[in-house]
Chains A and B, each alone.
Chain A
Amino acid sequence: MESVWSHDSLVLNGGQGQFDFVVAEGSQSFLVVVSGLSGAEYLISSLRGPDGVLVRAEANEAEAASGFGAAAGPFFSPNRSVGDHGGATLLVPNDPLLRLTPGRWELGVTSSSVEQHELRVDRLELHAAGLPLRSVIPLTIHLSGAEGMTGALGRGHERLDRALQKVEQVYEPAGLAFEPITFVDLAPEFRVLDAVDLRSQKALQMLGRGVGRAGINLFIIERFENDEALLGDVGGVSAAIPGDPRGGEPLSGVVVATSFSEDAAARDLLGLTMAHEIGHFLGLFHSEEANGFEDNLSDTLASEGSNLMHHLSRPGFDVLSAEQGMVLRLNPAMQLP
């Protein structure tokens, strides 16, 4: 099992561009990271492989009524694609019922910036004989000192240890472990972020602290201060779905806030929030959105209501389905134990 990066560029004209690449024999999956202008929005709006279309730009009438605008088609595509700021990412496949066929593929990118500009297109492709039953991924935890959590203490901090135990318990049945887990200190200035969208200069500086640390970079802060009046109504955020596993990049990281929930064990949601955002980072969507839309997986039934990736965060919502486990292990950032 081996994952290999390839690096290319793409010029967008009028907010549109196409990119061709070849998927090798024996590839199980690939992850694309498109990096552009920090002030612009991007969306991988089309993807065609040798067997047909996996991401389509066009939406039917019902999908167009979702209010997602130009993002509706990609959102409701067989291989769901969502946009982001400064770039976009896509895991293929993000539904294990889809198969990756070797051959020539064509990817389309749409941007909110119509000025001609060049994008960086980085692609990580997983070559393996089959899907491994067990995988590992490095986890680096950046500690801003919120609630006394420091790199020196690491798992010696009771609440952090409890949260990590929860994360490990949630992912173990899916065949996923976090190895190694490394604790590093983050400057106290990052204890508070002004916004949850991770677009501010401060947020990008913080994500940049993950440079050279491949895998998952988890930043534990005290709080998000969304606007002047409100704060704390958001528990965590992933920089992208899926995130960029290189570390240090604008779409590389997961951020959670300690102030979101109480630290009493029975009421603490820190571990669940960490697990949920890591799920997004590795390519999972909400099993059910607040507006009722469901993911594409056949075994994440909204009626069951105990899924980790449900849009609600409640004690006991900590189950991952078999297909979610397969999506996680298809992420090319995974390694063999």
Chain B
Amino acid sequence: MSGLFILSLALLVDGHHALPAQPGEVACWQAEGALRTHLLSGRRPQRRRALILLERCSFTLDWARLRADNDPEMALVAWRYSLQNAVVDDPRWAQALQQLPKAQGRSVLRLHNKRRRANLAPGLPIEDVR
């Protein structure tokens, strides 16, 4: 069954269930081309899942371009990756809020609040930024 799984990694962009946390090296290598094609020209779920798989495969990605993507949901995923290790007073939080539409901005706010609670640190004046 493992062979089937390797071949199907790029196909998983069409799934709607959780993606493998650590795809295998060979599976990543075999799927890279197809994943990049999906990322460029797929439907939203295909693009988002391709992005997640490419990142989990540790491939290089143009994050600045992805953060400015025309689809705000894609931009949101890119921003959340970029903010993964950001401290609570990192100016990129405010930048994300300025750039994203309201619904996606709420997601960034929730992430910021969660990070702030975890760090017991004072937060940015997020409301002023908006």
Q: Which residue of B lies closest to A263 (CB)?
A: B44
B49 interface hit (Cβ, 8 Å): yes
Q: A228-B80, A233-B19, A292-B4 are in contact. Are A312 and B14 (CB under 8 A)?
A: yes
Are B15 and A312 in contact (CB-based, < 8 A)? yes
Number of A-B contacts (CB under 8 A): 87
The total of chain B residues at the interface (CB under 8 A) is: 32
- The 8 Å CB contact of A223, one of B1, B16, B107, is B107
Q: Which of B5-13, B61-69, B92-100, B119-127 contacts A (4 or more CB under 8 A)?
A: B5-13
Could you tell me the distance between the alpha carbons of A66 and B73 in the complex, rounded to whole angstroms? 35
> What distance in Å separates the Cβ of B11 from its nearest Cβ neighbour in chain A?
6
Residues in B neighbouring A237, C-beta threshold 8 A: 17
Q: Which residue of A lies closest to B111 (CB)?
A: A228
Q: Which residue of B lies closest to A311 (CB)?
A: B15
Interface residues of A in 258-299 (CB under 8 A from B): 259-262, 267, 269, 273, 276, 290-293
- The 8 Å CB contact of A231, one of B12, B19, B45, B80, is B80
Q: A228-B111, A230-B80, A232-B77 are in contact. Are A260 and B45 (CB under 8 A)?
A: yes
Q: Which residue of A lies closest to B43 (CB)?
A: A267
Q: Which residue of B lies closest to A222 (CB)?
A: B103
Q: Beta-carbon contacts of B24-55 to A below 8 Å, as 1s and 0s? A: 00000000000000000001110011001000
Are B4 and A291 in contact (CB-based, < 8 A)? yes
Residues in B neighbouring A66, C-beta threshold 8 A: 1
Q: Which residue of A lies closest to B115 (CB)?
A: A228
B129 interface hit (Cβ, 8 Å): no
Are B107 and A262 in contact (CB-based, < 8 A)? no
Are A313 and B73 in contact (CB-based, < 8 A)? no
Chain B interface helix/strand/loop/mixed: helix
Could you tell me the distance between the alpha carbons of A312 and B114 in the complex, rounded to whole angstroms? 33
> What distance in Å separates the Cβ of B77 from its nearest Cβ neighbour in chain A?
6
Could you tell me the distance between the alpha carbons of A276 and B71 in the complex, rounded to whole angstroms? 25
Are B81 and A229 in contact (CB-based, < 8 A)? yes
> What distance in Å separates the Cβ of B59 from its nearest Cβ neighbour in chain A?
16
Q: Beta-carbon contacts of A293-321 to B below 8 Å, as 1s and 0s? A: 10000000000000000011110000000
Are B5 and A291 in contact (CB-based, < 8 A)? yes
Are A313 and B14 in contact (CB-based, < 8 A)? yes
> What distance in Å separates the Cβ of A211 from its nearest Cβ neighbour in chain B?
28
> What distance in Å separates the Cβ of A40 from its nearest Cβ neighbour in chain B?
21
Are B16 and A232 in contact (CB-based, < 8 A)? no
Are B11 and A232 in contact (CB-based, < 8 A)? no
- The 8 Å CB contact of B1, one of A259, A269, A293, is A293
Are B107 and A269 in contact (CB-based, < 8 A)? no
Residues in B neighbouring A228, C-beta threshold 8 A: 80, 84, 111, 114-115
Could you tell me the distance between the alpha carbons of A273 and B15 in the complex, rounded to whole angstroms? 10
Q: A269-B16, A313-B14 are in contact. Are A261 and B45 (CB under 8 A)?
A: yes
Q: Which residue of B lies closest to A292 (CB)?
A: B4
Could you tell me the distance between the alpha carbons of A260 and B16 in the complex, rounded to whole angstroms? 8
- The 8 Å CB contact of A230, one of B4, B14, B44, B77, is B77
Residues in B neighbouring A235, C-beta threshold 8 A: 16, 45
Are B1 and A234 in contact (CB-based, < 8 A)? no
Could you tell me the distance between the alpha carbons of A228 and B108 in the complex, rounded to whole angstroms? 10
- The 8 Å CB contact of B48, one of A225, A233, A236, A276, is A233
Are A290 and B5 in contact (CB-based, < 8 A)? yes
24 contacts between A and B (CB under 8 A): A192-B110, A223-B107, A225-B110, A226-B18, A228-B80, A228-B84, A229-B84, A230-B77, A230-B80, A231-B77, A232-B77, A234-B17, A267-B43, A269-B45, A276-B16, A290-B8, A290-B11, A290-B12, A290-B15, A290-B17, A291-B1, A291-B4, A292-B4, A313-B16
